[in-house]
A and B are shown apart, each in its own frame.
Chain A
């Protein structure tokens, strides 16, 4: 059994690990927010805080590793002319931009709006205000787009059209 690996393979493994760390957690957000809204609305602000902290502490650093490893792989294997490499670079840039300029600010706005709405919440069914609903609509729309883009990019990277 050959246990040795080339630097290329090690960097490729790092690239895939970074994908798991960067995007995997985002797929549980719809379920997490559905559970929190129904069972414990008071946990919504802290959940939004955990959302943007995860974007800062997981998504951004892992995306940086992913792009760095991808640049090494494309350069080492002379793949810059390939569609899947160009798509991958483009997708990473779009996701990084969306995280920094849309998702993190929207999660912060949602946290603040949820806190304000909860000040008057006395139990029963939680009815959030328009500001919270607008922020979560933005999060849902751009969060779903980011997740779909991540899945499409995985498929393109594997199939290498």
Chain B
């Protein structure tokens, strides 16, 4: 067994681990939503608060780490002209922009709306407002598109399309 490791291989491992940590969480959100909405609607404000914190302290830093590692790898391996590198760079910028400009403010808003609807229900059954449901649908739709973009990007990165 040979244990010698090239530095770029370590960077590649960090790049993949960062992608796993940054994007894996988003695939669990539908399960969390389903469990929360089905069994305990009063916990939805808490769920949205968690999404907001996870976006700030898990997704954003590891997205940045994946980007930095990707830039190093593309430079070191002279792959900037390859399609999969350009796609990967574009995808990470789109996902980062979506995180900051779309998901973060809407998840905060969802938390506020859920809190308002839960408070309005008092001790009775919680009925979420049309405003909350419409915004949740919008966030979920874009979330599914972002997840599809992640999977397509993993495919291009693995196959090295255009290399």
A→B interface (CB under 8 Å): 1-3, 5, 9-10, 12-13, 16-17, 19-28, 31-32, 35-36, 39-40, 42-43, 45-47, 49-50, 53-54, 57-58, 83, 150-151, 154-155, 158-159, 161
Q: Which residues of A contact B127 (CB under 8 A)?
A: none
Is the interface on chain B under 10, 10 to 19, 20 to 34, or 35 or more residues?
Answer: 35 or more
Q: Which residues of A contact B10 (CB under 8 A)?
A: 155, 159
Q: Is the interface of A mostly helix, strand, loop or mixed?
A: helix
Contact B155 A24, beta carbon cutoff 8 Å? no
* 14 A-B interface contacts by CB (under 8 A): A3-B162, A12-B158, A20-B19, A24-B26, A24-B28, A28-B28, A36-B50, A39-B46, A40-B49, A46-B35, A46-B43, A150-B20, A154-B17, A161-B5
Q: Which residues of B contact A158 (CB under 8 A)?
A: 9, 12-13, 16
The minimal Cβ–Cβ distance linking A82 to chain B, given in whole angstroms, is: 9
Considering the chains assembled together, what is the distance between the CA atoms of A2 and B83 in angstroms? 9
User: Which of B53-61, B91-99, B136-144 faces chain A?
Assistant: B53-61
Chain B's closest residue to A19 (CB) is: B20
The minimal Cβ–Cβ distance linking A41 to chain B, given in whole angstroms, is: 9
Q: Does B1 interact with chain A (Cβ within 8 Å)?
A: yes
Q: Which residues of B contact A28 (CB under 8 A)?
A: 25, 28, 50, 54, 58
Q: Which residues of A contact B57 (CB under 8 A)?
A: 31
The minimal Cβ–Cβ distance linking B82 to chain A, given in whole angstroms, is: 9
The minimal Cβ–Cβ distance linking A53 to chain B, given in whole angstroms, is: 5
Contact with A along B150-162 (1 / 0, CB 8 A): 1100110011011
Q: Which residues of B contact A12 (CB under 8 A)?
A: 158
Contact A43 B58, beta carbon cutoff 8 Å? no
B→A interface (CB under 8 Å): 1-3, 5, 9-10, 12-13, 16-17, 19-28, 31-32, 34-36, 39-40, 42-43, 45-47, 49-50, 53-54, 57-58, 83, 150-151, 154-155, 158-159, 161-162
Contact B154 A58, beta carbon cutoff 8 Å? no
Besides A5-B159, A32-B53, A43-B40, 5 other CB < 8 A contacts? A9-B158, A9-B159, A35-B50, A43-B46, A58-B31
Contact B54 A17, beta carbon cutoff 8 Å? no
Contact A53 B31, beta carbon cutoff 8 Å? yes
Contact B53 A35, beta carbon cutoff 8 Å? yes
Taking a contact as CB atoms closer than 8 A, the residue among B12, B23, B47, B54 that contacts A31 in the complex is B54
Q: Which residues of A contact B47 (CB under 8 A)?
A: 43
- The verdict on A3 contacting B58 (CB below 8 Å), with A21-B27, A155-B17 known, is no
Considering the chains assembled together, what is the distance between the CA atoms of A151 and B32 in angstroms? 24
Considering the chains assembled together, what is the distance between the CA atoms of A1 and B32 in angstroms? 40
Considering the chains assembled together, what is the distance between the CA atoms of A110 and B23 in angstroms? 26
Q: Which residues of A contact B9 (CB under 8 A)?
A: 158-159
Q: Which residues of A contact B25 (CB under 8 A)?
A: 24-25, 27-28
- The verdict on A39 contacting B31 (CB below 8 Å), with A20-B19, A83-B1, A159-B10 known, is no
Which 3 pairs, one residue from A and one from B, show the smallest C-beta to C-beta distance?
A24-B24, A25-B28, A43-B46
